[in-house]
Each structure stands twice: as C-alpha cells, then as structure tokens.
Chain A
Amino acid sequence: MTETFRLDGTDVPFEAGETILQAALKAGRFIPHLCHHPEFRPHGSCKLCTVKVDGRQAASCTRLATSGMKVESETEELNAERLALTQMLFVEGNHFCPSCEKSGDCQLQATAYHLGMTNAHYDHFFPNRPLDASHPDFLLDFNRCILCSLCVRASRDIDNKNVFGLAGRGMASHLIVNSKSGKLVDTDFSVSDKAAHVCPVGVILRKRQGFFIPIGSRTFDKKTIKEYVDTRLGEED
C-alpha cells in the first residue's frame, strides 16, 4: 500500500524519500516554486514553495513527505506571502519585462501572473549590475538574477564544470563565473552545457536568438505556469 499525506484536504500518494513538492507535482498538484527543478537536488532558497505542515511553515521542496501529515498550500495567507516574496525578487533586481528577451518564457513573470501581482509594491533597489557580453554565444544579464542557483547546480552536478557560483553575502550576494578575469568568455562554458538552459529568468541568454519566437506565442502565452510544470514533468530530457 502506498502512503499518503493530505494536501489542502485531499490525499497525495508519495514514495519514501520524496519531498512534499515532488509528490504534489507528480500528482498534478501545483505549488508555486522558483528554485526547484525536478532534475536537481533541492535547494530551498526562494521560499515560494512554503506550505504549512501540521500548522507550521516549511519549504515544501526540501521537507520530506511523511505519512498522514496535513499540508496546507492554497490559503489566502500563504498566497499573499508568496506574492510578497515575488515582489521582493522584482525590486531586488532590475526587471524591465517589456524589453526583456525572456518575457513570456520567464518563470518569475509567469509566477507573478499566477499570484495576481499588479505592481512591485516595494521601493526598487535599482542595483548596479553590469552585463557580461564577452562570450561569443551567450550574454549574461545579471540584472535579472534571482539567485536560485540552478545554473550553479547544473554546471557543477551535470556538466562537471563549476562555471557558475554564488559570491558575496546578504543583499550583496551575486553570481560569478569561473575565470580570473571574471568574464564568461574565459571559462569553459558551452552551448551544450545543461547550465546554458536552466535559468528560469532572463540572465543566461543565447546571442543572436533575440525575439526569435515572437511575443504572443511564447511558453506562458500558451499555457499557465502550472501547465508548464506539468508538461516539464512529463518530458523526457
């Protein structure tokens, strides 16, 4: 017999060692998330996936499911807090969606729509984060980095390269690349790297592909973030 836990009042089956988020997504139940990706080890930093487990908050991407636990996710309180976190991510960086190549394909933007975000609410920090256009095939626009570390994990765990890393502390946290010059061109980064294709927002961008797919026919023009996550789980990569 498989074990189950309760998510917003209905049973979700899980296997030993699965997290709440993994089991929920497998069962077609969406919980907002940004730093989780099914192919990588959980990180637990964005906190968008926070749920209440038996009355206490926990990140559902890192908390292991246990039999009979009561999990609340779609509550007004949690969604309001998720919305605030999303707004924090927007004001922390420089996100000018209309001029962003990733617009329509961006998970931050799609999550903002999903949560009903209509404004940034907080004062913008307007950080100064120069671009890195040194690489022949890729552009790094750090203005949009949400520090999810997916590129770090992909490069380290799948590409065996460590092209990306997190540096600094607190609000000075930022992404760095593995070269003495600090430029991407001096690393061994390549188009075929997994890390070239995991960024949920518009930081790691392929050059000369700008607006290849017109706005209006992009991922999240056609489906919601929930549907996107469902299909991603069904995909064989």
Chain B
Amino acid sequence: MRTDHHSAYLSPILEKYGENASNLMQILREAQECHGYLHPDAIDFLCEKLGLPRTKIVGVASFYSFFYLEPRGQYRILFSDNITDRMMGSELLLARMCKTLWLEKGKLSEDALVSVDTTSCTGMCDQGPALLVNNFAITHLTEARVDSICALVREQVPLEEWPSELFEVKDNIRRSDILLLEEDFSLRAALRQGPEAILSELKLSNLRGRGGAGFATALKWEACRNAAGSERYVICNADEGEPGTFKDRVLLTLHAKKVFEGMILCGFVIGSKKGMLYLRGEYRYLLGHLEKTLQDMRQAHLLGNAILGDFDFDIEIHMGAGAYICGEESALIESLEGKRGTPRNRPPFPVTNGYLDRPTVVNNVETFCAATLVAAHGGKWYSEIGTQKSSGTKILSVSGDCERPGIYEYPFGVTVREVLQDCRAISPQAVQVSGPSGVMVAQAEFDRKIAFEDIPTAGAFMVFGKERDMFEVARNFVHFFAHESCGFCTPCRVGTALLRNLMDKLHNGHGSAYDFEEIRKLNGILQSMSHCGLGHSACNPVLDSIAKFRPAYEKRMLHHEFTPAFDLDQALQAARQMTGRDDRAAHLAKGEQ
C-alpha cells in the first residue's frame, strides 16, 4: 500500500519531533527531503499522527515557497532572482539551463526529473549569480557551471555525489573590526558577573538591535526579564531575507559559537532555559555545521544542565522554508509554532507574549554577537566606539557594481563614500542601503553616514554603476514585495500586486503622468493601513527612485495622460507562445492597434 511507503519515512521523523504539532515546519521539511514533495497520502498520515486537520497542514505547506504539494522533480532548481543576480546575468543562465534540459521555467520536466524556477534573493549576492538545488546553494554560476549541473541532472547523479566544489561558499571578509577580530570569549567569566551586572553593562553600551528596527537591546532584555510568567524564550533571528543581506550567513559560518554564547547570555539575564535559532531555508547547507557547533558546546558544558550554578540552557535550530515575512519577529514566532507566517496583531509584543504566548526576546544574529563583546569588555568601552547615538560597529554586506564585494565591518558613522572607495565601486550612481525596504542613496548623498541617526541599515549595501537603469532596480524590488506579501491584510496583499502591475505597465512603455499619482496614492494606503513593516515599506524603492532618478521614468512616459494597461499586441503573447511563433506577422504593428 502507498501509505506504508510514506509511514516508513515519516515515522522516524515524527518520533524525532515527538509527534508535536508545533514542530510541523521541521516535520514537513524532513518529509520533503525524503520524498521530494508532500504527497497527499503523507499528509493523511501526518493529520492522523499529529491530530491536525488537513486544512491546517495544507494551509501551512502552501504558505512557504519551499514546500511542494505536487511533484517538482528529483532535482528542484531555483535561481536567485535578486537584482544583483540579474546584473551578473542570471536570466541568460536560467534560459540556458531550461533550454539544455528541455523544459519551461516553473514547470516540471516531461520526464518528471527536474524543475527550474526563480526564488527571492538567496543571500549570495557577493558571489552570484546563485541558485539552490534541493535547497543547497551553488554560487558563482557561469555557462560552464550551468552546463555541468545540467549534465549531473541528466545523468541522474544523486546530489550527495555532486562535486563538492560546486557547493563552496566563500566568506569574502574584506574589513574586520572589533566583532570579526575578536577571538576568545569566556562565557563563564561573563556569566560570573551575574545577570544584573550584565544588564547594566548592556545599558551602558547603548547597543541597539542590528536587524533593522534598532530597538535598545538592554530595554528588550529587561522588559522580558520583568514580564510575568514562568517560562521565557530566547530567539535568534537568522532569517536574513532582505535582498542584498548576507552578513548573518558569514557570522554563522565563522562565529557560530559566539552567536550561541550571546543567546546563552540573554537566557541567563532573562531567566530562560531554551533558545531557538530560526535559520532561513536558503541556508540549509549551514545546518550540519551549526548542529555540530551546538554538540561541541554541549560537550564543553557551555550548554545543558547547570552551566553555571543552577543555570540550565539549551538551543534548538529551526529551519524556515522560503518566506521573507518570517523575518518579521511575530511572523517568525508563528512559524516556530508550526503555523503560517502571518504577523501578529501588536501590541502585545513578544517581550510579554511571544513564543507559546510567553515572554520572549527576539534578536538578530549580529546583536547577539555584539552582546558578547559588551559582556567581555564592558558597556563603556563599547559605547565609545561609533557615534554618540549609534554605538559599536555594523557589518555591511556589499554587492553589486564593485571590484571587492563581501563583508565589511565598520564603526558606525562611516560614510557611504568611504565604503564605496573601500569596495572599489565602479562609477557608482546609487547605493541601495538596507535592501528594498531601505533607502536608495544617490550620488549627491554619498557623504551621508551609516548610523541610526542618518541612514540606518540591517546590512545590505548594493552598488549600482552609472550604466544601470534605476527604474528596473525599483521594479525588481516591487516584484519582490508582491511575491513576499503574506496576504493577510488587504492593503499589502492587493496593494503590492497593483504596484507591481503599475511598474510593469511603465516597463512595457505604457506609462503616463496619471500613474505617478496612482503610485503616490498606493503608497499612502500601504503606509497607513498595512498590518506590518513589509507593507509599510513596499513603496519605498519606487518613491525613492522617482524622487532621485526621475529621468529613468520620463524615458518611459510615452503618453502624457492616461493610458490603459491593456495592450492588444501583448494580449497575443499567449497565442504566440502556444504556436511557437514570434515572427513579424505574429505581431501587430504599432499603427494597427
């Protein structure tokens, strides 16, 4: 019977996760790693064992880009579709692969062996173009590398036997400061100071969160420590989904122990016994290394029971499955609980009502690392680095048009210009700081500073040379938001799709002045009515590029008043595709329309 086949691989997975429905994400991921997709019979089995309705399991699985409810082949290939990948030629490489493998983008090959599609930024922008095969990253794509991947697929070589050099990921550290240089950290010595002392050093340090919002870390820990309730949780946000950001990947590669030690410190301060690291699905290749680090730490008695006195603490790793929204802390918590990643209504905030409705601290990977520095060297020392309002250092992920893309750690207050010089930017006209939801910085602003009081950033620093079309940059970002909107609230779900269609209309040469007014209006609605930060910032790239790169838009304004988005010739595209024709006679001449 078919179900027997599924129960054979599902039973050990269920056992590993204690048949606990809050581990649904991990169970689905491992089930898919065994069978390639989530078979309806497998879902039957899971419903029964986990006591969940089918609506719940299908609802969760269909929310995440990396779960499949239908066959996607033995090899599931996803090209990273960030603007930086495109600038390095990802579109041509994808077309080449589709042609070589005889398949259409987004569709399963006829022999059901392979599928090729795109996915949001995979965090390899300094070594793109990149792709994922069954969620494992391959970087530095070239025609030759694409051809060898195609050969491996055709010969049906099992993924485990693919040459390991294909899967090499570089760290590309270009500038190190206190955080990346620090070698030794004595967790035990830090803990001996006691929770109150650690907290007061943290206050002195003025450390602010590195995930984007810049909330004071000490205040967050203190609020959680003081919140009512017996059990508390520490969560490390390693979702790193903002396109152009890859510094957490490198921290987790080189300084995983320090990240975990920061979580332990936090657990000690707030009185928690359990930490969880939420790792984005795109970093699946790091899982083994992180598990091993945790195992070593348990052996060294840095994790487990009675780490110091009666302080017990352990850490679990949870993997995401392709959903940018799960970087938003309350959506992340929902996902950790085995649900769709929909942001919660706030207030209440996680510090009082977080994981399983209990007091929870959520911090970024880099924030936890920085906390260990404060614990080791004191808050005053830390506060004297950087600027008055932004203490310490910030790690930037530099990519785009420059000779030295990679990781740069600077004290806060560094100017955009200095970073551009260090990375040897190639005639830059703009930098997108902090990703699509951040700011587009134009040449005239290159003396502005990276700091909370000037240009705050979660880390992304994408450089655009003077040849780049900033309209296309903004359009790529708008597609990203529309693709990643969770769909919970009306303004963001429909508004981002409308904005995407407007940008496509302009791209197709049907823009008019009317559309600017529409964009302005959509922005107003998204900013004021959206449920979470994704909707709030979805218009940023468009507004910024209109304000700073107006000619890129003017060029597309063929019409001065209203023009409908409908285009008769465009409408014939489907027919052309079906008949395989693209000759002149299959197109309407401009005048004929």
Contact of B56 among A57, A64, A165 (CB under 8 A): A165
Closest chain A CB from B289 CB (angstroms): 29
Partner of B493, one of A164, A165, A173, A176: A173
B517-533, CB < 8 A from A? 521, 524-525, 528-531
- Complex Cα distance A216/B173, Å? 72
Segment from B20-28, B57-65, B160-168 that makes contact with A: B57-65
Check: A102 CB closer than 8 A to any chain B CB. no
B361 at the binding interface (Cβ < 8 Å): no
**Residue in A closest to B496 when the chains form the complex, CB atoms:** A170
Complex contact B54–A170 (CB within 8 A): no
Stretch at the interface among A5-13, A87-95, A204-212, A227-235: A87-95
Interface membership of A166, Cβ < 8 A: yes
Q: Kindly identify, within residues 176 to 191 of chain A, every residue whose CB is under 8 Å from any CB belonging to chain B.
A: 176-180
The CA of A110 and the CA of B531, in the complex, are separated in Å by 24
Q: Which of B487, B496, B525, B530 contacts A84 (CB 8 A)?
A: B525
Question: Complex: how many Å from CA A189 to CA B345?
Answer: 30
Q: Are the CB atoms of B487 and A81 closer together than 8 Å?
A: no
Q: Hey, which chain B residues are within 8 Å of A164, CB to CB?
A: 55
Contact check, B486 vs A81: say whether CB atoms are below 8 A apart. Answer: no
Chain B residues lying within 8 Å of A172, measured Cβ to Cβ, are 487
Q: Is B483 interfacial (CB-CB < 8 Å)?
A: yes
A176 to B497 Cα, complex, angstroms: 22
Q: Which residues of A contact B521 (CB under 8 A)?
A: 84
B482 close to A81 (CB less than 8 A): no
- The answer, yes or no, to whether B106 is at the interface (CB within 8 Å) is no
Enumerate chain B residues within 8 angstroms of A168, measured Cβ to Cβ: 62-63, 487
**Residue in contact with A47 in the complex, picked from B56, B65, B529, CB distance below 8 Å:** B529
> Which of A152, A170, A172 has the most CB atoms of chain B within a 10 A radius of its CB?
A170
| A46–B55 touching, CB < 8 Å | no
By beta carbon, the residue of chain B nearest A123 is: B565
CA distance A84 to B497 in the complex (A): 14
What is the distance, in angstroms, from A172's C-beta to the closest C-beta of chain B? 7
**Chain A: minimal CB distance from B124 (Å):** 23
Establish whether residues A169 and B345, one from each chain, have CB atoms under 8 Å apart when the complex forms. Answer: no
Contacts A172-B487, A173-B487 given; does A179 touch B528 at CB 8 Å: no
| A40 at the B interface (CB under 8 A) | no
Name the distance in Å between A176's Cβ and chain B's nearest Cβ: 6
Shortest CB-to-CB span from B47 to chain A, Å, is 9
Minimum CB–CB distance for B337 against chain A, Å: 16
Is B482 within 8 A of A171, CB to CB?
yes
Which residues of chain A (79-104) have a CB below 8 Å from chain B? 81, 84-85, 88-89, 91-92
Chain B, Cβ-Cβ closest to A172: B487
Q: Which of B55, B484, B488, B528 contacts A50 (CB 8 A)?
A: B528
Contact of A162 among B53, B497, B564, B565 (CB under 8 A): B53
- B487 near A46 with CB under 8 A, answer no
- Contact between A171 and B497 (Cβ–Cβ < 8 Å)? yes
Q: Which residues from 467 to 500 on chain B have a C-beta closer than 8 Å to any C-beta of chain A?
A: 482-491, 493-498
CB pair B58–A45 under 8 Å, yes or no, is no
Q: Closest CB of chain A to B141's CB: distance in Å? A: 27
Check A112 for interface membership: any CB of B closer than 8 A.
no
B489, A165: Cβ atoms closer than 8 Å? no
- Among A123, A147, A166, A169, chain B packs the most CB atoms within 10 A around the CB of A169
Is B258's beta carbon under 8 Å from chain A? no
* C-alpha spacing A126/B360, complex, angstroms: 43
Q: What CA separation (Å) do A125 and B498 show in the bound complex?
A: 9
Partner of B490, one of A89, A123, A169, A170: A89
Contact flags (1/0) for A133-173 with B, using CB distance below 8 Å?
A: 00000000000001100001000000000111111111111
Q: Indicate whether B501 reaches chain A with its CB closer than 8 angstroms.
A: yes
Are A170 and B487 interface neighbours, CB within 8 A?
yes
Q: Contact: A171 with B531, CB < 8 Å?
A: no
Interface status of B357 (Cβ within 8 A of chain A): no
Contact (Cβ within 8 A) B59 A165: yes
CB distance from B567 to the nearest CB of A (A): 12
Contact present for A180 and B54 (CB under 8 Å): yes
Chain B 50-90 per-residue mask, 1 if CB under 8 angstroms from chain A, else 0: 00011110110011110000000000000000000000000
Cα(A169)–Cα(B497), bound, Å: 12
Note all chain A residues with C-beta closer than 8 A to B347. 64
Known: A50-B528, A169-B486. 14 other contacts (CB 8 A): A47-B490, A57-B528, A152-B55, A165-B56, A165-B58, A166-B59, A166-B340, A169-B340, A169-B487, A170-B483, A176-B55, A178-B53, A178-B54, A180-B43
Q: Which B residues contact A (CB, under 8 angstroms)?
A: 40, 43-44, 53-56, 58-59, 62-65, 323, 340, 345, 347, 482-491, 493-498, 501, 521, 524-525, 528-531, 564-565
Q: List 29 A-B contacts (CB under 8 A).
A: A45-B489, A45-B531, A50-B528, A57-B528, A57-B529, A84-B521, A84-B525, A85-B490, A85-B525, A88-B495, A89-B490, A92-B493, A92-B494, A123-B564, A125-B497, A163-B55, A165-B53, A165-B58, A165-B59, A166-B340, A169-B65, A169-B323, A170-B482, A170-B484, A170-B493, A171-B497, A178-B54, A180-B40, A180-B54
